[in-house]
Structure 1
């Protein structure tokens, strides 16, 4: 495959084999026609369901037109990489639900307990793209992993990696939804794969499981209500109406995945990158709230969590500590932990700490504390 006109069928087969060697669980290919998604995207934006995620609207319909993003693109190589830590127990979903019921536990979404997936997938996709170059010579391509205005899920669905569940996540019959996806936009007219059908049937467990009612109906998500949005994307104050509903979830939320029947097929990742770091699968709210900014930055080096910064980390933890009052009202250790941050330099942190202390029956005067 080194001449100027490679055998594209043979190349597509090789790409999938190379992808497996690089740790991808599945690699598929699709064309770039996403015209069928544009009306739905515009309606979602018009409804304001993207919240403060201005980047969702800033590129207009370019998000649904890969060739406008990368001129010359005619195909997309879409890849799936499973992320459950290699040591994950078979009953992991039940264990996660038990942690949610422990008022002292700090619940971090499973995907965020290891290395930042952006870096891992981008590096692996780049390696895959370079294998193609080594085989056929120079060609046009660009690698993406949740890093540009690309409609990754519709492309992955069209490529046959899975179908969109009612919670809007991609689902696979072989792997549930516990995987990351990334893609390579290429100027090679590779043969395309067929999409798969949907297999949710009458099940709507994910809709009923959402603590904040963010899933408005099958395939309809109001991100402004989603705990992942509130704890990760939202930069300012978490609306008080949602704080009690967040419980002890301090970064992301897995509730819709935990109840999904297809996740009995969830696969453990092949790479050590997604193995748990810093004890995030067993940490307590009090323990994590005690981290000063230097410790947070050091421990979260290479983690997706670092991008929210120490201030929002404390904001989220304060909400969790406040919600612990439902089971442990006035707990001395929790109250003392919160009071230690009551005069924090950040108004955002002070506000959420004061709210949390009030839940434990301790009322503070914020202005007096920061006078």
Structure 2
């Protein structure tokens, strides 16, 4: 199919992202007109004043919806970029940020907090801290078990991550079974499926730093990602040490995934579907993909979070359920198109 201009696609996606973000600020349990949203946003940016009657809506937008939208933008873009990297790193079109078992390790830490109150001294940061510690532990285990004399071999890395992922999932199941209070299982399940309902301004700087630094590193590696995705033999012929480069990508992917999972849980299909959609539109060159993929991922996750909040008000659906409901049919359609996976025939 004819490839779309990266500049045109990125500009269009950015406009859509702005529009969806404004709609996300407007809609929810309380509907706020867009004029009032723009007025409050402008007052917040410029340090202006608002009327007393607008204070409740100001609190809704600034304290609740705005950090949630910003986190959706950052995490959506970051997860999509990590998915792009992992697919090139392991040369597997079905790989996503969670294939390394990191999210399952984070789930063990989060489950221990929800059900047994571990890390309780950290207060509101207990859940994210425990999840990140679990993600780090999983990362270390995967690396130690997957490495060999030849370095991180793609197949060995995928199999190790998958096996440990199942192992961590089993531990999570046992913790739920042993929980002293049965109602904790619902909270655990909601977190495992992903949610941005606990978004706060304190989470935004960390997500921003991790996303920006990660994207800069990935963009700098785009040319080498092209070589790596064609195989270690081609990489060696081009002067690239595939083993060392794969280790760098593993560290970057693990750090970004661990951070995102600790904030919003395991939100699936973002890192799997978005890179394939981008390949359909602009081709398989990672120098082009790294420009488009983060923006498309941000649009996807902001839209999914909006649906999660508004489909069955005042209740909120798990974010992972929305991304799966959209991602499954899209991915099936992509698989049926010739050349959709990894840009192959």
Query: Do these two structures clear the TM 0.5 threshold for a shared fold by scoring above it?
Result: no
Question: Which structure has more helix as a fraction of its residues?
Answer: 2
Tell me: higher relative CO, structure 1 or 2? Use CA pairs within 8 A at least 6 residues apart: 2
Asked which structure has the greater CA Rg, the reply is 1
TM-score (norm 1): 0.26
- Which structure has more strand as a fraction of its residues? 1
TM-score (norm 2): 0.28
